[in-house]
Structure 1
């Protein structure tokens, strides 16, 4: 089940709630009982490994713009 980060506008606390994606936009109260909360944008970590745990192969072309323009 996905976890979503929220911030309470009344007390300023941030908290996390696990809920189905279908309820992602539904209102949620903060642990302090306040109803004025806002869902925060979450960041996603991307790693350089493939499913097997081995490092991902380097991108073709390499270099600064993918075209090998750097010496």
Structure 2
């Protein structure tokens, strides 16, 4: 289940709520009980090891108008 970040305009607290995507835009009260909250735009990032794999080498000929049979 995804987490959504909110910020309380009353106490300036930032908090997360875990809920289904269908309820992603529903309002959320802050942990202190305030109802004046705003949903924050969050980003997703990944960290990997090593370099990205090299692209597969292109085959000679066989492409459209390059010796294939599509033209």
TM-score normalised per structure 1? 0.68
Distance 1:21 1:42 in 2: 14
May I ask how many residue pairs the two structures share in their alignment? 56
Q: Runs of 5+ in structure 2 lacking a partner?
A: 57-71
Bigger-Rg structure (1/2): 2
TM-score normalised per structure 2? 0.68
Measure how far apart 1:32 and its partner are: 0.3
Q: Deviations over 1:24-44 (max 9, x none)?
A: 000110000000000101111
1:19 maps to 2:15: no
Q: Runs of 5+ in structure 1 lacking a partner?
A: 61-71
CA RMSD between the two structures? 2.2
